[in-house]
Amino acid sequence: MPLTETQVKVLAALAGLLPTEALTVQQLSSRTGFAASTVRAILGSHSYDGFASGSRRRPVVWRITARGRSLLCAPGYRDFLPYQVTTTNGAKR
């Protein structure tokens, strides 16, 4: 099932982080401009689908998973990435 633009934007905000970084719901809300309740619902969905993971400790912080990053490289979602994706042959996508 395709993601909505709002779902993609939340996932893309996580994709822009370094592997050692993570964001709380409030931080994601500030970065995306979406209400915290919207971000929380989207993260629940992303977690269920394996696109994002939350920490088990409080405050809960969120990271994108390899599956989520792979999804964002798909043609319909690439434009939302905060960086350009380079293929193995060097072509930019």
Tokens standing for residue 72: 């964002």
Is the separation of the CB atoms in 34 and 43 below 8 Å?
no
Instruction: Tell me what the pLDDT averaged over the chain comes to.
Output: 88
Please tell me the least confidently modeled range out of 36-50, 54-68, 75-89.
75-89
Q: What was the pLDDT predicted at 88?
A: 47
The architecture of the domain spanning 5-80 is: Orthogonal Bundle (1.10)
pLDDT tens figures, 22-44: 999 999 999 999 999 999 999 99
Please report how many Cα atoms fall inside a 13 Å half-sphere around the Cα of residue 72, on the Cβ side.
Answer: 29
Confidence class for position 84, pLDDT limits 50, 70, 90: low
Does pLDDT of 19 surpass 90?
Answer: no
**Angle made by CA atoms 90, 46, 12, in degrees to the nearest 5:** 40
